[in-house]
Amino acid sequence: MNKINLEGRKAVVTGGARGIGYAICQRLTESGARCIIWDRDEEAASEAVSKLPGAVAIAVDVTREESVNEAKQATAAKVGGIDILVNNAGIAGCSKKLWECSPDEWQEVLQIDLFGVYLCCRALVPGMLANGYGRIVNIASIAGKEGNPNASHYSAAKAGVIGLTKSLAKECAEDGVIVNCITPAVIETDILKQISQEHVDYMRSKIPMGRFGLVEEAAALTAWLCSEDCSFTTGGVFDLSGGRATY
């Protein structure tokens, strides 16, 4: 059986210290890639790379331009050029109605979940274009397609990630750089600690398969999108929602 082959590829995974990002790092490493974890949680990132052969951890806050640029330079010094970028770092933010969110609460989610994706793409896409090869996978959410109540900040940010993916894909379409996103429904990770049980129950109740998604399922889809096998699909939005999304 042919396996996903990422031999010799170098992959930056933001928020790769835990949860979905860590599972993606595990899968990419198993497929032959070298992972560079960009995460703000240095301790968790160091622990994660200790379990991933060849992996490197670099501290970054994806919302700060200087921090992203420093991470880019540190990455270049340690491993050279980057072939793959997985924009996974994100937060859920508070579970509140739009008018109950303070401007700071609303902005924080937009800054991390959308602006951070822009900054990391801005930092790494030019190198990919110069090499004539790149794979970018943005971790959006079903919330960005459907809009979840009590998550207007998160839904708006993830809808923004879907739009950014489609625009960037067209900008790079003739240059070997392929850009897609995935839209998972709820997956049990630490991120769920940020939101109310009522909100988690609501999201689970919307899934026809009647269960949470698994981090391994997100990693499997992402690994294919990171590979050379994904060659004629760009600007795509890949469902991972146990049947919740029917479009």
Catalytic residue numbers read 154
CB of 3 to ligand NDP, least distance (A): 24
| Binding of ligand NDP by 191 (CB under 6 A) | yes
| Binding of ligand NDP by 17 (CB under 6 A) | yes
Q: How far apart are CA 90 and CA 108, in angstroms?
A: 10
Q: How far apart are CA 159 and CA 185, in angstroms?
A: 14
| Binding of ligand NDP by 29 (CB under 6 A) | no
Using CB under 6 A, pick the residue from 12, 21, 33, 245 that binds ligand NDP.
Answer: 21
| Binding of ligand NDP by 86 (CB under 6 A) | no
| Binding of ligand NDP by 169 (CB under 6 A) | no
The DSSP element (H or E) to which 127 belongs, if any, is: helix 116-131
| Binding of ligand NDP by 47 (CB under 6 A) | no
| Binding of ligand NDP by 201 (CB under 6 A) | no
Using CB under 6 A, pick the residue from 90, 93, 134, 235 that binds ligand NDP.
Answer: 90
Using CB under 6 A, pick the residue from 141, 148, 155, 227 that binds ligand NDP.
Answer: 141
Nearest to 179 by CA among 233, 109, 216, 130: 233
Using CB under 6 A, pick the residue from 4, 13, 60, 84 that binds ligand NDP.
Answer: 60
| Binding of ligand NDP by 88 (CB under 6 A) | yes
Farthest CA pair distance, the chain: 53
Place of tokens 């790092």: 25
Nearest to 121 by CA among 49, 77, 172: 172
Whether the CB-CB separation of 223 and 83 falls below 8 Å is answered with: no
Q: How many CB atoms lie within 10 A of CB 56?
A: 18
- Residue 14, classed as helix, strand or coil, is strand
Measured from the CB atom, the residue of 231 and 243 that comes closer to ligand NDP is: 243
Tokens of 157: 């940010």
Whether the CB-CB separation of 151 and 199 falls below 8 Å is answered with: yes
Measured from the CB atom, the residue of 89 and 179 that comes closer to ligand NDP is: 89
Binding site for ligand NDP (CB under 6 A): 14-15, 17-21, 39-41, 44, 60-63, 88-91, 112, 116, 139, 141, 184, 186-187, 189-191
